[in-house]
Amino acid sequence: MRALLFFLTLAIGAAVGLGLTFITMVNGYGPAGIRAGAWQAWPKAGTEEADPYARAALARAGELPLELADGLAFIATTDDAGRPLDGRCDIHLSGAIPQARFWTLTVTDGRGRLIANAAQRNGFTSPEVVWNRDGTLDIWLGPRARPGNWLPTGARERIALTLRLYDTPVGLASSTNDAPRMPRLVTERCP
Amino acid sequence: MKRLILPIVAGLVLGGIVHLVAVLIVPYLAERDAYARLAAVTDINSVAPIEDPSPDGAVLPASDPAFVSAVCLYDLGDGPMKIRMPTTQDYTSISFYTRHGMPFYAINDRSAGRSVIELDLMNSKQRAALPENDEVTVADRLVVESPSDEGVVIIRALVRERSARDEIRALVDAAGCDSPS
């Protein structure tokens, strides 16, 4: 009976320990993220002060983080209402982009891979996108081509957006809570 | 029932310990980490281009497809390294990581403020061994101190629009990563 209880202890320990580790490593880069609307970023992950969760998640994924002195990456997997981004729908990204010397917007599938498409377009850079007169942006994502700034989603069930700001003051402030105003993401029409 | 309480509590405590240890050692045990992925496409102490990300995958997951990049895996065991990179009209950057992926330094064309970024990469011993009366020259040179002997240098340049990709690729290919001797 003693031995049984001992093994029960070990089993609970292993299950809880490894389960917890797995959960914290597959969802983002640890607890030190900042959130702005549907967007999430981990400024600290790109510095020497990266916490063990960020370092473990990056090592497991085989990624190198964008260094904060270089820039900051914001990731969105849902729209502003919290619905997962669906590549079969028309999604509208609108508003201003935080201050940065350059930025790039990339659309990937749910597993982070680029989506093959006839237009060979996987994103926009700040010099090539068409801006509105007031300095804001309108970008449409969807399976069907349309005029204006259009990003093909290949009708994937899940997509993710990454907005990378380069040479930006965002995230450098000492308090990591003051998240910048990020563009809105609205799912407009679903088939 | 009462005798189950102790194993459950002990199991939860043990689980917490297992979790902490696992998180701390993952960066050192991960077999397919960034260094391993890069080591498959390049040799030590030389610059190699990184293939552009495509729908089939990327050398490093979550890399920006709008950039052209090259890598240099370094080993300072034989002496300091010289890193150089001609800047483009747009955004150019060099970032440094340790063997286990900890970022420790990054510089871009604007913070370097010249048309060719040139850096001396050395460990703390080699930096301490720099001749003292060399102060003036040292101030003029950009010295980067690596916390470890082995690490990763990523050299990247933004491609403003697709038509410029070949031109930028040629510039990135001109980057250097050599031991001065």
pLDDT score of B2:
77
pLDDT tens per residue across span A117-150: 988 899 999 999 999 999 899 999 999 988 999 9
Specify the 3-state DSSP secondary structure of B48.
strand
pLDDT score of B134:
57
Q: What is the chain A residue with the closest CA to B100? A: A59
Q: Do A12 and B11 make contact, defined as CB atoms within 8 angstroms?
A: yes
Task: Out of B4, B22, B90, name the one closest to residue A21 (CB).
Answer: B22
Q: Average pLDDT, stretch A76-85?
A: 94
CA gap A135, A132 in Å, rounded: 5
pLDDT score of B133:
62
Distance to chain B for A107, nearest Cα, Å: 10
Determine contact, residues A8/B7, Cβ cutoff 8 Å.
Answer: yes
Structure tokens belonging to residue A51: 């916490």
| H helix or E strand, kind and range, residue B68 | strand B67-75
pLDDT score of B39:
93
Which residues in chain A are closer than 8 Å to B90, comparing Cβ atoms?
102, 127
Q: Do A13 and B57 make contact, defined as CB atoms within 8 angstroms?
A: no
Distance to chain B for A124, nearest Cα, Å: 8
Burial of A41 (0-12, 13-18, 19+ CB in 10 A): buried
CA-CA-CA-CA torsion sign (B3, B6, B9, B15)? negative
Distance to chain B for A111, nearest Cα, Å: 10
Which residues in chain A are closer than 8 Å to B73, comparing Cβ atoms?
none
> What are A103's strand-pairing partners?
A165
Q: Do B7 and A50 make contact, defined as CB atoms within 8 angstroms?
A: no
For B102, list phi and psi in degrees, rounded to 5. Answer: -80, 120
Residue A177 has pLDDT above 90, yes or no: no
Q: What is the chain A residue with the closest CA to B153? A: A64
Confidence of residue B153 (pLDDT cuts 50, 70, 90): very high
pLDDT score of B50:
94
Task: Out of B65, B90, B102, name the one closest to residue A122 (CB).
Answer: B65
Got the DSSP string for chain A? Answer: -HHHHHHHHHHHHHHHHHHHHHHHHHSTT-S--EEETTEEE-GGGGSTT--HHHHHHHHHHT--PPPTTTEEEEEESB-TTSPBP-TTSEEEEEEPPPS-SEEEEEEEETTSPBPP-TT---EEETTTSPPPTTS-EEEEEESS--SSEEEE-TT-S-EEEEEEEES-STTTSS-TT-PPP--EEEEEE--
Task: Out of A13, A106, A127, name the one closest to residue B65 (CB).
Answer: A106
CA gap B127, B104 in Å, rounded: 16
Residue A175 has pLDDT above 60, yes or no: no
Q: What is the chain A residue with the closest CA to B55? A: A114
Residue of A70, A72, A74, A115 for testing the chain B interface, max B β-carbons within 10 Å: A70
Q: Do A14 and B18 make contact, defined as CB atoms within 8 angstroms?
A: yes
Task: Out of A16, A21, A62, name the one closest to residue B60 (CB).
Answer: A62
Instruction: Return the ∠ at Cα B39 (arms to B38 and B41), rounded to 5°.
Output: 70
CA gap B145, B76 in Å, rounded: 11
Residue B142 has pLDDT above 90, yes or no: no
pLDDT score of B130:
79
> What are B157's strand-pairing partners?
B68, B92
Which residues in chain A are closer than 8 Å to B34, comparing Cβ atoms?
58-59, 62-64
Q: Do B106 and A67 make contact, defined as CB atoms within 8 angstroms?
A: yes
Q: Do B30 and A6 make contact, defined as CB atoms within 8 angstroms?
A: no
Residue B67 has pLDDT above 80, yes or no: yes
Determine contact, residues B113/B92, Cβ cutoff 8 Å.
Answer: no
Strands B116-123, B81-86: parallel, antiparallel or unpaired by DSSP? Answer: antiparallel
Instruction: Return the ∠ at Cα A46 (arms to A54 and B108), rounded to 5°.
Output: 165
Which residues in chain A are closer than 8 Å to B33, comparing Cβ atoms?
59-60, 62
Determine contact, residues B148/B95, Cβ cutoff 8 Å.
Answer: no
Residue A66 has pLDDT above 80, yes or no: yes
pLDDT tens per residue across span B97-141: 999 999 999 999 888 777 888 899 999 888 888 776 655 555 567
- Start-to-end CA distance of chain A, whole Å, equals 60
